[in-house]
C-alpha cells in the first residue's frame, strides 16, 4: 500500500512502553521457536520425517494467526501497520509462483493420484506473505522481527555446539547450513571492535569446519565474500576520493584472486580429504530432471507430476528406491519449465536489488538498529538458495517455512524509499 503523505514522517522507533510485545507476538515467536527446532533438528530426533509429528510446528503457530484475525474483527479501528508498495511487487510474484505450483500439485494429488507432489512447495511459499502480514499487524514490527532472528540464532548456536560434540560421527545440520552458518553473520554485523569482528569470522569458519560438507563450504564462502563487500562499501560510503574507492575495489579483487588460487591448490592437493557430495547419485537424479525439462522446456510438467523419482542405478540406504532430485531449482526447472523457473528466480533477483540498495545507501532505513537484522536475513535467504541447489528444502514443510518466513520478515520491514515503510493507519 502507498503511504499517505501525512504518515511519511512517522518514525519506526517507539516508546519503551510500545517496545513490549503482546500475547499474539509471543505465541508467534513460540511457534517459530518450535518450527526452527523441527527444521534444524539439532538433537537428531528426525522429527521432520515423522508423519503427523512433522506438522506439529504448523499447529503450534496457527493460533497466533487466528488471534490476529479475531483481533481485527473485534477491534476494526485499532491501529495497525502496513508495508511499502515497493515490496508488493515481490509479494505478487510469490503469489503467482505459489499458485502455479499449487494448482499443478492439486491435479497431481487428487486427479493423477500422486502422493509425492509439490503441494508442500506451493503452499509453504505462502509463508512469506503470511509472515509479512502478521508482522504488519504487530504493535511493534521491528521488535518482533529482531526477536524472530534471535530464535534462529539460538538454535544455530545449539546446533554448532551439538556438531562440535559429535564431530566426525554424525551430521547435525546438513542441508540446514543456511539456518545455522548463514545466521552467524549477525555477530559480525553487530561487532564494534576488531576483536569482535575476528571472533565472529572465526565462529563462521569453525562452524563450517565441523560441518564438513560442500554446502557448508559454499555457505561460508558466500558469507566471507559478503564481509569483504560490506567492508569495501562501508569505507567507500564515507570517502569522496575516487582514487581511494577504486583502490578499495582493487584490494577486493586481489583478495579474491588470492583466495581463489588457494582454493584451487586445496582442491588439487587435498581433494581426497574433501566430501565427495555423492556425485554418482546426484548426476543420475539431475539427468532425469534435465530430461524432463528438455521434454517440455516452456512449462515442464506444470507440477502435475511426482516430486520424486525411482532411482535405479544402484541400491541406496532407504526402504524404497523413490528419492527426490536433491536440487530445488532443478526441480522447478524440470516441472515448471522456463516459466516456473523465471517466476521463482525473479523473486530473488528483486530481493538482491533491494539488498544492493541497502548496502549502497544504509540511510534508506530510518531505524539504523534494524540494519544488522536485515543483512542477516538477506544472508540466510541467499545462502538458502545456494543450499537448496543441492538439497531438497522448499518441498520439506518446516525447512520451507523457516526459509520463506525470513523472506516475509524482510518484506514486512524493508524500506525501499527514504521514508518509513511501516506506518500507523488511523
pLDDT at 175: 95
Burial status of residue 191 (CB atoms within 10 A of its CB: 0-12, 13-18, 19 or more): middle
What's the predicted TM-score (pTM) here? 0.91
Contact predicate 129/310, CB 8 Å: no
Q: 397-413 and 127-137 helices cross at what angle (nearest 10)? A: 50
Helix (H, G, I), strand (E, B) or coil at 292: helix
Average of per-residue pLDDT across 146-169: 97
Q: What is the dihedral sign for C-alpha 380, 369, 18, 410?
A: negative
State what percent of residues in the chain have pLDDT above 90: 72
Give 322-363 pLDDT, tens digit per residue.
778 899 999 999 999 999 999 999 999 999 999 999 999 988
Contact predicate 259/228, CB 8 Å: no
Question: Greater confidence, 217 or 419?
Answer: 217
Alpha carbon distance 54, 419 (integer Å): 41
Total domains present in the chain = 1
**376-387: buried (b, 16+ CB within 10 Å) or exposed (e) per residue?**
bbbbbbbbbbbb
Spatial CB neighbours of 248, under 8 Å, sequence gap ≥ 6: 232, 235, 236
DSSP conformational letter for 84: -
In this prediction, residue 426 has a pLDDT band, given cuts at 50, 70 and 90, of: very low
Question: Greater confidence, 265 or 324?
Answer: 265
CB atoms within 10 A of CB 397: 20
* Domain boundaries, position 41: 5-425
Give 199-250 pLDDT, tens digit per residue.
999 999 999 999 999 999 999 999 999 999 999 999 998 888 989 999 999 9
- Whether the pLDDT of residue 255 is over 60: the answer is yes
Helix, strand, coil % over all residues of the chain, rounded to 5 = 70, 5, 30
Contact predicate 216/177, CB 8 Å: yes
Average of per-residue pLDDT across 135-144: 93
Spatial CB neighbours of 390, under 8 Å, sequence gap ≥ 6: 214, 215, 277, 282, 326, 327
Question: Greater confidence, 395 or 87?
Answer: 395
Give 133's Cβ-side CA count (13 Å radius). Answer: 12
CA angle 172, 173, 176 (to 5 degrees): 165
pLDDT at 240: 86
Helix (H, G, I), strand (E, B) or coil at 296: coil
Contact predicate 326/285, CB 8 Å: yes
Give 159-196 pLDDT, tens digit per residue.
999 999 999 899 999 999 999 999 999 999 999 999 99
Alpha carbon distance 320, 354 (integer Å): 44
Contact predicate 383/219, CB 8 Å: yes
Helix (H, G, I), strand (E, B) or coil at 366: coil
Average of per-residue pLDDT across 20-46: 96
Q: Which three cell numbers stand for residue 238?
A: 564515507
Alpha carbon distance 343, 354 (integer Å): 17
Amino acid at each position: 500500500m502507498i503511504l499517505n503523505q501525512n504518515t511519511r514522517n512517522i518514525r519506526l522507533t517507539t516508546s519503551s512502553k510500545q517496545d513490549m510485545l503482546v500475547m499474539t507476538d509471543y505465541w508467534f515467536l513460540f511457534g517459530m521457536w518450535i518450527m526452527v527446532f523441527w527444521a534444524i533438528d539439532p538433537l537428531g530426533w528426525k522429527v521432520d520425517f515423522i508423519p503427523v509429528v512433522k506438522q506439529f510446528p504448523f499447529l503450534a503457530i496457527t493460533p497466533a494467526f487466528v488471534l490476529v484475525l479475531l483481533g481485527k474483527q473485534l477491534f476494526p479501528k485499532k491501529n495497525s501497520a502496513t508495508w511499502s508498495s515497493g515490496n508488493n511487487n515481490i509479494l505478487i510474484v510469490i503469489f503467482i509462483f505459489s499458485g502455479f505450483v499449487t494448482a499443478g500439485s492439486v491435479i497431481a494429488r487428487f486427479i493423477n493420484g500422486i502422493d509425492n507432489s509439490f503441494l508442500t512447495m506451493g503452499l509453504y511459499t505462502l509463508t512469506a506473505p503470511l509472515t509479512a502480514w502478521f508482522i504488519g499487524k504487530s504493535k511493534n514490527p521491528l521488535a518482533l522481527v529482531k526477536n524472530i532472528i534471535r530464535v534462529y540464532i539460538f538454535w544455530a548456536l545449539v546446533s554448532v555446539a551439538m556438531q562440535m560434540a559429535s564431530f566426525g560421527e554424525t551430521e547435525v545440520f546438513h542441508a540446514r547450513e543456511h539456518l545455522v552458518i548463514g545466521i552467524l553473520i549477525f555477530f559480525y554485523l553487530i561487532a564494534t571492535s576488531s576483536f569482535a569482528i575476528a571472533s565472529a569470522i572465526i565462529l563462521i569458519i569453525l562452524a563450517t569446519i565441523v560441518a564438513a560438507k560442500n554446502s557448508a563450504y559454499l555457505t561460508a564462502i558466500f558469507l566471507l565474500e559478503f564481509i569483504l563487500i560490506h567492508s569495501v562499501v562501508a569505507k567507500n560510503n564515507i570517502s569522496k576520493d575516487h582514487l581511494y574507492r577504486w583502490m578499495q575495489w582493487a584490494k577486493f579483487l586481489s583478495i579474491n584472486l588470492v583466495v581463489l588460487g588457494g582454493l584451487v591448490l586445496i582442491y588439487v592437493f587435498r581433494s581426497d580429504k574433501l566430501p565427495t557430495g555423492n556425485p554418482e547419485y546426484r548426476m543420475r537424479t539431475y539427468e532425469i530432471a534435465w530430461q524432463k525439462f528438455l521434454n517440455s522446456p516452456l512449462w515442464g510438467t506444470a507440477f502435475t507430476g511426482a516430486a520424486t523419482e525411482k532411482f535405479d542405478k544402484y541400491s541406496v540406504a532407504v526402504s524404497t528406491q523413490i528419492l527426490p532430485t536433491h536440487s530445488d531449482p532443478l526441480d522447478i526447472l524440470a516441472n515448471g519449465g522456463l516459466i516456473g523457473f523465471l517466476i521463482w528466480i525473479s523473486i530473488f533477483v528483486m530481493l538482491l536489488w533491494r539488498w544492493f540498495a541497502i548496502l549502497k545507501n544504509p540511510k534508506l532505513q530510518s531505524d539504523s538498529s534494524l540494519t544488522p537484522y536485515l543483512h542477516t536475513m538477506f544472508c540466510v535467504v541467499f545462502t538458502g538458495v545456494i543450499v537448496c541447489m543441492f538439497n531438497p528444502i522448499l518441498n520439506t514443510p518446516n525447512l520451507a517455512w523457516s526459509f520463506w518466513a525470513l523472506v516475509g520478515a524482510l518484506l514486512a520491514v524493508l524500506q525501499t524509499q527514504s521514508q518509513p515503510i511501516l506506518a500507523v493507519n488511523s
